[in-house]
């Protein structure tokens, strides 16, 4: 007989008990519990057929058709369970913890596995995700103009024991018109939220969590409204690094990327950048003069970020400028020190 576990228990034991998602491949692709394994009881077409039958003829005909579909798959499902189980244990879930997960759990239990099911299914997990964004996390926001090495700083801060959530890493995007170049496809909005919430859950809510200062939209995904509102109320530690230092850094970072993709990204911001500037940047890129191209782009993004930085309430009480001569590892220590001093005074 399957044992029902709540979402906290499932997440806490996921490294020990593999989690099987028996929803259709389409449901899984839209969003799933990170780390879950897709093993559809019904594929997209079969699920649609059963759903239509349920609406038109009722529950019993739909169940009979479902049994007809599942019958030939029973051996395959048991073999898949055998491949994924760990020490004879396995967990199963569907959308609401209903018939799909109950059916697969029964089969695997019959085969001899120690089976667990997720109470409330994926829907319960999604409720937990959305609830997480409303919690009163203490955020420290790492600010700085483009090219300040903020992503590298966050990694160093994490190595030094600070709690860090890498928004750009989760979004698979660096946050500008050029931010997707050279990276894998972004997750969808629902999956981004799942990954972000799970990362937040891993942190101690009673201690500060560092996030990079971002626009609410990162490429194709959006930071959830409640979380975004919390970020906008949080202290900003602005790494103030000289323009030329940042220009050298971003030239090295983006100079290795495909020329045509840089040109295409420039075209996407042509209106905001200005026609003449866009034309000049494109000319420099075609010449291989990356530094002068990014000099124009960096000036544009500096203006854009300055406007966004100051477009928040009570900035004078939230902004802490940390002067840095160059992009070095020592910047992480100084920013942490300033944040700790502020915390002690509050």
pLDDT in tens, 215-252: 999 999 999 999 999 999 999 999 999 999 999 999 99
- pLDDT of res. 1: 67
60 Cβ neighbours under 8 A, 6+ residues apart? none
- pLDDT of res. 175: 87
Q: Point out the least confidently predicted range of 5-19, 53-67, 127-141, 235-249.
A: 53-67
Helix (H, G, I), strand (E, B) or coil at 227: helix
Grade residue 174 by pLDDT with cuts at 50, 70 and 90: very high
- pLDDT of res. 168: 96
Grade residue 346 by pLDDT with cuts at 50, 70 and 90: low
Question: What digits encode the pLDDT tens for the residues 81-133?
Answer: 889 999 999 999 999 988 899 889 988 998 899 999 999 999 999 999 999 99
Last residue of a domain, one of 130, 148, 167: 130
Mean pLDDT in residue range 164-193 = 95
- Write out the catalytic residue numbers: 94
Burial class (CB in 10 A: 0-12, 13-18, 19+), 310: exposed
Q: Assess whether 28 and 170 both reside in one domain.
A: no
Contact 298, 246 (CB under 8 A): yes
Q: Assess whether 89 and 237 both reside in one domain.
A: no
Grade residue 189 by pLDDT with cuts at 50, 70 and 90: very high
- pLDDT of res. 280: 97
- pLDDT of res. 312: 81
User: pTM (2 decimals)?
Assistant: 0.93
Check pLDDT > 90 for residue 255.
no
Q: What is the CATH number of the domain that holds 22?
A: 3.40.250.10
The CA distances from residue 143 to 166, 168, 283, in Å, are 13, 14, 31
Domain that holds residue 284: 136-345
Mean pLDDT in residue range 55-60 = 88
Q: Assess whether 234 and 295 both reside in one domain.
A: yes
Grade residue 58 by pLDDT with cuts at 50, 70 and 90: confident
Q: Assess whether 112 and 214 both reside in one domain.
A: no
Mean pLDDT in residue range 49-55 = 86
User: Locate tokens 């959830």: which residue?
Assistant: 224
Q: Assess whether 162 and 238 both reside in one domain.
A: yes
Number of folded domains that form the chain? 2
Q: Assess whether 193 and 80 both reside in one domain.
A: no
Query: Which one has a higher pLDDT value, 92 or 48?
Result: 92
- pLDDT of res. 218: 96
- pLDDT of res. 70: 77
Query: At 43, phi and psi to the nearest 5?
Result: -80, 180
Contact 185, 116 (CB under 8 A): no
Mean pLDDT taken over the chain: 92
Last residue of a domain, one of 130, 165, 185: 130
Interhelix angle for 59-70 vs 44-57, to 10°? 150
Check pLDDT > 70 for residue 211.
yes
Q: Assess whether 153 and 283 both reside in one domain.
A: yes
Last residue of a domain, one of 98, 130, 162: 130
Check pLDDT > 90 for residue 74.
no
């Amino acid at each position: 007989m399957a044992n029902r576990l709540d979402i906290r228990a499932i997440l806490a034991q996921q490294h020990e008990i593999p989690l099987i998602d028996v929803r259709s491949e389409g449901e899984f692709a839209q969003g799933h519990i990170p780390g879950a394994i897709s093993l559809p009881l019904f594929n997209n077409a079969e699920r649609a057929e059963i759903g239509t039958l349920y609406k038109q003829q009722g529950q019993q005909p739909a169940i009979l058709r479902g049994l007809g579909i599942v019958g030939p798959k029973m051996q395959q499902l048991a073999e898949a369970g055998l491949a994924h189980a760990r020490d004879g244990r396995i967990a199963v879930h569907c959308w609401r913890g209903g018939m799909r997960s109950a059916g697969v759990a029964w089969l695997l239990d019959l085969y001899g596995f120690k089976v667990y099911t997720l109470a409330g299914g994926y829907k319960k997990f999604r409720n937990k995700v959305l609830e997480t964004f409303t919690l009163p996390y203490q955020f420290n926001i790492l600010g700085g103009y483009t090219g300040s090495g903020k992503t590298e700083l966050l990694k160093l801060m994490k190595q030094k024991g600070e709690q860090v959530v890498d928004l750009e890493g989760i979004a698979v995007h660096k946050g500008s018109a050029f931010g997707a170049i050279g990276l894998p496809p972004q997750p969808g909005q629902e999956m981004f939220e799942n990954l972000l919430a799970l990362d937040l859950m891993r942190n101690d809510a009673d201690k500060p969590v560092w996030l990079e200062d971002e626009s609410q939209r990162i490429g194709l995904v959006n930071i959830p409204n409640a979380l975004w509102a919390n970020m906008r109320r949080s202290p900003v530690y602005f790494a103030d690094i000289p323009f030329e230092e940042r220009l050298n850094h971003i030239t090295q970072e983006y100079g290795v990327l495909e020329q045509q993709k840089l040109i295409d990204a420039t075209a996407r911001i042509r209106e905001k950048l200005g026609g003449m500037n866009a034309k000049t940047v494109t000319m420099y890129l075609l010449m291989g003069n990356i530094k002068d191209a990014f000099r124009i782009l960096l000036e544009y993004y500096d203006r854009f970020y300055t406007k966004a930085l100051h477009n928040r309430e009570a900035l004078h009480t939230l902004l802490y400028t940390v002067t840095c001569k160059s992009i070095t590892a020592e910047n992480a220590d100084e920013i942490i020190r300033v944040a700790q001093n502020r915390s002690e005074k509050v």
